[in-house]
Structure 1
Amino acid sequence: MAKMKIVHLLNHTHQANGHVELAVDLACEQAAQGHEVTMLSGPGDFGDCLRDNGVAFVQLPQRDGHVGQIHAARDMALALRRLRPDVVNAHMVKAALIARAARLATPFALVTTVHNSFDRPSPLMRVGDLVIAVSAAVKREMAEKGIKAEKLRVVHNGLIGGKRRPPLPERRLPLHRPAVATVAGLHGRKGVDTLVEAFLLAAPRIPEAHLYIVGEGTERPRLEAMAAPLGERAHFLGYLRDPREVLASVDVFVLASRAEPFGLVLVEALQMGCACIGSDVGGIPEVLGFGAKGRLVPPSRPDLLAEVLIELVRDEAQRHRLTAAAQAELGHFSVERMARETEAVYDEARRLVRRHA
């Protein structure tokens, strides 16, 4: 395919934000494939990584308040006019709206990516010529919210082989085995309370198992209080820049989310050989092969989750079957595959724009 001038638009590039990390990996891979790629964003943590991998990083000044937001929109529009891209990929609603307005002066194909379908403004991503959904579940939800089905394209997230970090973790933290773990923001949507309740129910029947919770958030004090009866069997590790350091030693990984557009951390867990349990919501079933590569449990059902936890902790053979099935298809979650499929969407968007010019 022909090489393109691509601009990615983000509000910021702070780490610990899944959509930011995906956009950074995608931009770096596109540059490696020979495209001219620019990341246009507010401040963040990945400027050096982007530059080291051939991506031009244009940092816009941080502006606060209503007047500041107007100036920020002007800054982004002027930068787009100067860059004259073939394709703009907007990853957040505000950036998408600014890009749409900027196109009045500078023609380009606009592709928007919906990383999070339950944000209230997400239907505004329809301003793109085409709209990428990170899972079939997100595609369905966005169609229900009014985005025309013919605009929507599914491109599953890719993580493996990204340039942000080494292929394998630099260290492996020793854990008590068997180890049950989650990696999640500690807030209601992630359902960590469901996991804690389930582990409390399961604990007497798996007396050697320990629970590891990686992540930070406003619910940490409440979760620590809930887990207090577990004593030294519950471990709150806080935020880790590379959670694979823990996942490398985990036997059973759990993502008990109440809503989840994709579940990127499940890919990390599968990559590191964990047997996985996920809520049967959003994009999680797609990641877990609809049960072929991991167990699915209804959300907010600690009783059912406890039974599956007990089964997997006790049944090493089942864990091996699940991890073998997952390892056989890890290539689907590569950054290279994500970049290739995204490029096809870009090409289609450019053809649409030319057709309607």
Structure 2
Amino acid sequence: MRILHVLNHTRRQNGHVHAAVDLACAQVKLGHEVFMASEGGDFDSLLKANGVKTIYIPHQRKIPHLLRALFGLHRAIGRYDVDVVHAHMMTSAVIAFPICKLRGVPLITTVHNEFEKSATLMGLGTRVIAVSDVVGASMQRRGVRPSKLKVVLNGTIGSSRSTGRSEEPKPLRSPSILFVGGLHPRKGLPDLLDAFEVVHKSYSDARLYIVGDGPLREEYKARAAALDSARDITFVGSTTDPYPYMLGADIFVLPSHADPAPLVLSEAREAGCAVVGSSVDGIPQLLEHGKAGLLVPPRDPAALADMLRHLLEAPSRLSEWRQKSQFRIEHLTIERVARETLEVYNEARAPSAASPAMAS
């Protein structure tokens, strides 16, 4: 099959980019011819090394750029005789929709960030992929018919991005608590800072490591500096590979307020951390609804502190939850994601598949 992915860019800072790059490389390994149309970015060399052909398509929301994008996509679909177009963000879907309709090529859309109002436009696809059950339910409430909607849970284990990564754990001081994510409100880091302050009063040897960057980094650093536990909080900053930090951590915490299906959870589970996540969006599903990780209410630092103390007070309990992180870990492989996605493509290519013009 000849597959064309359309993406705003291939820079590292967005989780949906990681998911699309992982998928494209995995599809090549399964024997398909795969193209990536975007404005380019950090992952272009990785895509090339894995046999994914890159095509430059502008995505700026200005009429001259959009016209160039429409023309470029139209030419690429014809030149490479593409069987399926897969759009991963709203701008990509809007650009691809009229071209796919004109050429009679199925358009697949993946909803990565359903909390954005513009996610409704992803219903333009012949088939719509949701990255978790909660995202699927949200898209149905927005008017996408169940018959054109398919849930393909995110997973990243075995991805090409992980090839050659360091397997040497970072020497974190134990007991270590780790956060990896963007430093912006949706990820809930202030809740973790408040919870750690409470935990630290009982477990003064505990350490908190924060890996990531974002617009609120300085604000969060100032907030942490004002805490009594400040000397045991480390802001690592941005890194191209957080996995060694996961290998070195005892507990991984993701206190998000909204998170459709964060890839970081499959990586933390693969690394063997005991995982604590907030019970929002796709997090419970990625933690097997409490069988592979512990769940706490979102926006509740007190509950998070109680859970961390629950783990720290008994080393055997912490060890038990590290082992539980491996429960059904094989379900989080990129190969499973690729095969389920190909099933969606085949459904969309079937003669009975709904036309894009009928999209909700």
Fold shared per TM-score above 0.5: yes
Residue matched to 1:318: 317
CA offsets 1:36-80 (integer angstroms, 9 cap, x no match): 111111121112211111111112357574432332333223322
In structure 1, give the amino acid aligned to 2:23: L
Unpaired segments ≥5 residues, structure 1 = none
Residue matched to 2:347: 348
Residue matched to 2:97: 100
Counterpart-to-counterpart distance in 2, 1:141 and 1:63: 27
Instruction: Assess if the C-alpha contact under 8 Å between 1:160 and 1:167 holds in 2.
Output: no
1:353 CA displacement: 5.6
1:110 CA displacement: 1.2
Instruction: Assess if the C-alpha contact under 8 Å between 1:273 and 1:327 holds in 2.
Output: yes
- 1:78 pairs with 62, 66, 75, which one? 75
Question: 3-state SS of the aligned residue for 2:162?
Answer: coil
Unpaired segments ≥5 residues, structure 2 = none
1:113-132 matched pairs, under 5 angstroms: 113-132=110-129
Counterpart-to-counterpart distance in 2, 1:177 and 1:285: 26
Question: 3-state SS of the aligned residue for 1:105?
Answer: helix
1:319-334 matched pairs, under 5 angstroms: 319-334=318-333
Counterpart-to-counterpart distance in 2, 1:126 and 1:355: 12
Residue matched to 2:215: 218
Question: 3-state SS of the aligned residue for 2:343?
Answer: helix
Question: 3-state SS of the aligned residue for 2:265?
Answer: helix
In structure 2, give the amino acid aligned to 1:259: A
Whether 1:260 aligns to 2:259 is yes
Q: Which moved more, 1:223-232 or 1:189-198?
A: 223-232
Residue matched to 1:205: 202
TM-score, normalising length from structure 2? 0.94
Q: Which moved more, 1:159-168 or 1:294-303?
A: 159-168
- 1:177 pairs with 174, 179, 184, which one? 174
CA offsets 1:95-138 (integer angstroms, 9 cap, x no match): 11222100243221111100110111101111111100000010
Counterpart-to-counterpart distance in 1, 2:273 and 2:325: 9
Question: 3-state SS of the aligned residue for 1:164?
Answer: helix
Identical amino acids, percent of aligned pairs: 41
1:240-279 matched pairs, under 5 angstroms: 240-279=239-278
Whether 1:87 aligns to 2:84 is yes
User: Alignment RMSD, CA only?
Assistant: 1.8
Counterpart-to-counterpart distance in 2, 1:135 and 1:143: 13
Q: Which moved more, 1:21-30 or 1:216-225?
A: 216-225
Residue matched to 1:52: 49
1:7-86 matched pairs, under 5 angstroms: 7-61=4-58, 65-86=62-83
Cα 1:194–1:11 shift into 2, 3 Å: same
Question: 3-state SS of the aligned residue for 1:247?
Answer: helix
CA offsets 1:186-219 (integer angstroms, 9 cap, x no match): 1111000000011011111111100101111122
Instruction: Assess if the C-alpha contact under 8 Å between 2:59 and 2:92 holds in 1.
Output: no
Cα 1:210–1:110 shift into 2, 3 Å: same
Q: Which moved more, 1:228-237 or 1:298-307?
A: 228-237
Residue matched to 2:147: 150
Counterpart-to-counterpart distance in 1, 2:89 and 2:63: 18
1:354 CA displacement: 6.2
